[in-house]
Amino acid sequence: MNVKYQCKIILLGIMLAVRVSSAQTNIIIFQELLSTNGSVLMTNAEFRCVLGNKLFFKNGPSEYHSFTAEELNTNVLATLNLTTTRLESQQQLLDAKNKREKEYIAALAIEKQREEQLAIQRQKIYEAQAQAQYNEQQKQNQTIIIRPRYDVTDRESTGFGEP
């Protein structure tokens, strides 16, 4: 799994936990949190916050539950001064924000891949230049031995041959 993706999930979880734990100043507790068909979803449910179209409730020291507006009795929404239309609008805004973040992350991934490819190309160019420089040094370091060429006329002029 991508490290950036893991970090994003962790940060989102932290943001949600902070928002759930401290978002509500007026404590609203439902003795019985009812569903649309009248069944009890939770007892002594403390409303904590809204995120998109989800409502979060606390039950116990560290037990949180979330419900969509469609799952809750309309009296619960009325008590919280919320409507399904307003919650859906908030969800659309949240979805749009998440989509922008995903597009941004995808663009970052593409840019990272492009940078990696450029780095590989730069490395290949560097290696080719280093090899060319090495080859040039090897050519310069080679000693060329030139043997003197003796010609017959040279021998006669120096007195080493038969006259």
SS3 79: helix
Each residue's pLDDT tens digit, 23-58 = 446 788 888 888 888 888 888 888 988 888 898 999
Buried b (16+ CB within 10 A) or exposed e, 96-128: eeeeeeeeeeeeeeeeeeeeeeeeeeeeeeeee
**In the structure, what pLDDT confidence band is assigned to residue 126 with cuts at 50, 70 and 90?**
very high
